[in-house]
Amino acid sequence: MALQQAPPIQVNVENGEITPVGSTLNAGTPFQWLNNTPNAVKLSNCGTWCNADTYDVPANGGTANASVLQVPNLEPCAFSDTGWDTPGMPHIIVNPWPVAKKEVA
């Protein structure tokens, strides 16, 4: 009797949704970029928190393997793209966004 493996964590390049529901991306977590759009997608400037700087994700349910760095940069400026806020362009939503810790004297 073979053991069933859990489905991979996937991040939708169009809306940032992470599946399976309840999954989280932590340091060192492997995941797949998922592209359900009819067009291939190129993600760039990912190297501050992923194991590669760019990913080519094929159209129509295509995936690209990735993983979160052991020490990812979580600053808001760390992941950028010139078309990031353009309607229909891929974008990642981190909610809630990590907040820097403040020291109290």
| Spans of all domains in the chain | 6-105
DSSP states of 4-69: PPPPPPEEETTT--EESTT----TT-EEEEEE-SSS-EEE-S-TTTBSSS-EEE-TTTEEEEEEB-
Which residues 6+ apart lie within 8 Å of 44 measured at CB?
53, 54, 81
Mean pLDDT over each residue of the chain, to the nearest integer: 75
63 strand-pairing partners = 34
Rounded Cα gap, residues 65 and 7, in angstroms = 13
Q: Which residue has the higher pLDDT, 10 or 88?
A: 10
Report the SS3 class of residue 35. strand
- What digits encode the pLDDT tens for the residues 1-38? 566 777 899 998 887 888 998 888 888 899 999 999 88
| Tokens representing residue 4 in the block | 């069933």
Instruction: Say if pTM beats, i.e. exceeds, 0.85.
Output: no
Q: Which residue has the higher pLDDT, 70 or 83?
A: 70
